[in-house]
């Protein structure tokens, strides 16, 4: 079977799937406090998610990341992980992983490890309980810490993702770095992105360019650039003094699109070929129209043929340009 290659000769090998738009947190940069969630009938069922992911895997996707909203609040989600593990067993899938806020990890870590998940990304922007409560609105730091401990006890490798927020976690740069080094967690900083309608002013206020963050890190440590790329917006450095690897996800200030190997599917089955563009293809209709996967595959191929060369986010000239109206919880971060 022919694998998915886009018009710029990029092989599509990485699929990120959002399994719910719901979440038990309300991070200020991600969601409004009173979110209108989608009616259940609009969401792909677990069976539909299985068909969709399995088709992508047949078409050459080797890495599958489950996200949301908060993926671990989706009812029955372990059934889906269990189902996906069959593709790990056949070797068609190399990696099954997830991005989570960690709140439910204490419950699910052992089950995730049992179905073949090896690594999890846990989003954590601060180690201060009061600041954590403020940024997540509804979250509790101790619950996430317990989840992280459970994940480690289950043998999962942990990568901490921290959104860099000016005036919020600037003062925790070294605390976070030291904590991750001490615990053996990888660490990646994410530049805040202009998603949703959060208000232009607030966004520009919060924007802490990672080149500034990196410069701060370099005041204390010697950093060596690593050649390693993930096919995505992350770049890595090694802290020579500790050997620790630190990632930077800078979708706004770096051009990473030439190596882009990924696409995203929302919880309603919309396939987004680029995080920063509005163009998408509806995969729910072909999924529901026929029990046969031919229309689905056709829709996927037609969409990949339209994958754009790159995106246009730009914070320059004090205006948020190229802004897209979706929230991250919709597209799946």
List interacting residues with ligand SAM (CB under 6 A): 23, 29-30, 67-68, 70, 99-101, 123, 161, 163, 190, 192-193, 195, 328-329, 333
On the 0-12 / 13-18 / 19+ scale of CB atoms within 10 A, 206 is middle
Among 101, 161, 188, 323, binds ligand SF4 (CB under 6 A): 101
* Ranges within 52-81 binding ligand SF4 (CB under 6 A): 68-70
Whichever of 261 and 329 has its CB closer to ligand SF4, that residue is: 329
By CB under 6 A, the count of residues binding ligand SF4 is: 12
The one of ligand SF4, ligand SAM, none whose footprint includes residue 193, by CB under 5 to 8 A per kind, is: ligand SAM
Please work out, in degrees rounded to the nearest 5, the angle formed at the alpha carbon of residue 95 by the alpha carbons of 92 and 96.
105
Max intra-chain CA distance, the chain: 59
CA 2 to chain centre: 27
The one of ligand SF4, ligand SAM, none whose footprint includes residue 190, by CB under 5 to 8 A per kind, is: ligand SAM
The one of ligand SAM, ligand SF4, none whose footprint includes residue 15, by CB under 5 to 8 A per kind, is: none
Q: Which residues contact 7 (CB under 8 A, 6 or more apart)?
A: 305, 306, 307
The one of ligand SF4, ligand SAM, none whose footprint includes residue 331, by CB under 5 to 8 A per kind, is: none
Question: CA–CA distance from 78 to each of 24, 84, 111 (Å)?
Answer: 17, 10, 8
Q: How far is the CB of 30 from ligand SAM (least distance, A)?
A: 4
Q: Tally Cβ neighbours within 10 Å of residue 128.
A: 15
Backbone angles phi, psi at 91, to 5 degrees: 85, 0
First to last CA, the chain: 29
Residue with tokens 């037609």: 302
Residue 329 found at the interface with ligand SF4 (CB under 6 A): yes
Residue 123 found at the interface with ligand SF4 (CB under 6 A): yes
Q: Which stretch binds ligand SF4 (CB under 6 A): 26-34, 48-56, 235-243, 246-254?
A: 26-34
Containing H/E element for 302?
A: helix 294-304
The one of ligand SAM, ligand SF4, none whose footprint includes residue 20, by CB under 5 to 8 A per kind, is: none
Quote the DSSP letter at residue 171.
G
The one of ligand SF4, ligand SAM, none whose footprint includes residue 26, by CB under 5 to 8 A per kind, is: ligand SF4
Both tokens assigned to 246? 């630190």
Residue 104 found at the interface with ligand SF4 (CB under 6 A): no
Asked if 133 and 121 count as a contact pair (C-beta separation under 8 A), the reply is no
Residue 23 found at the interface with ligand SF4 (CB under 6 A): yes
Give residues in contact with ligand SF4 (CB under 6 A): 23, 25-27, 30-31, 68-70, 101, 123, 329
């Amino acid at each position: 079977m022919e694998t998915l290659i886009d018009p710029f000769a990029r092989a599509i090998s990485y699929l990120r799937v959002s399994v719910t738009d719901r979440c038990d947190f309300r991070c200020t940069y991600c969601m409004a406090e009173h979110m209108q969630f989608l009616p259940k009938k609009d969401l792909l069922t677990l069976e539909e998610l299985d068909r969709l992911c399995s088709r992508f895997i047949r078409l050459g996707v080797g890495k599958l990341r489950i996200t949301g909203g908060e993926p671990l609040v989706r009812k029955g989600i372990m059934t889906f992980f269990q189902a996906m593990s069959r593709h790990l067993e056949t070797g068609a899938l190399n990696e099954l992983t997830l991005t989570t806020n960690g709140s439910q990890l204490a419950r699910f870590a052992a089950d995730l490890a049992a179905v073949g998940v090896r690594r999890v990304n846990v989003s954590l922007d601060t180690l201060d309980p009061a600041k954590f409560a403020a940024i997540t609105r509804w979250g509790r730091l101790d619950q996430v810490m317990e989840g992280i401990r459970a994940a480690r006890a289950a043998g999962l490798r942990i990568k901490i993702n921290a959104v860099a927020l000016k005036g919020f976690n600037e003062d925790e740069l070294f605390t976070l770095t030291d904590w991750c080094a001490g615990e053996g967690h990888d660490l990646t900083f994410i530049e805040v992105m202009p998603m949703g309608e959060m208000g232009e002013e607030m966004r520009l206020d919060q924007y802490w360019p990672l080149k500034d963050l990196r410069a701060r890190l370099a005041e204390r440590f010697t950093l060596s650039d690593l050649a390693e790329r993930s096919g995505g917006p992350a770049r890595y450095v090694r802290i020579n003094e500790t050997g620790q690897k630190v990632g930077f996800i800078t979708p706004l200030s770096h051009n990473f699109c030439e190596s882009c190997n990924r696409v995203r599917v929302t919880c309603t089955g919309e396939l987004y070929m680029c995080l920063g563009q509005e163009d998408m293809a509806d995969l729910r209709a072909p999924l529901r129209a026929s029990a046969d996967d031919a229309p689905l595959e056709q829709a996927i191929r037609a969409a990949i043929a339209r994958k754009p060369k790159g995106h246009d986010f730009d914070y320059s000239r004090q205006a948020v340009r190229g802004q897209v109206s979706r929230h991250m919880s919709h597209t799946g971060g």
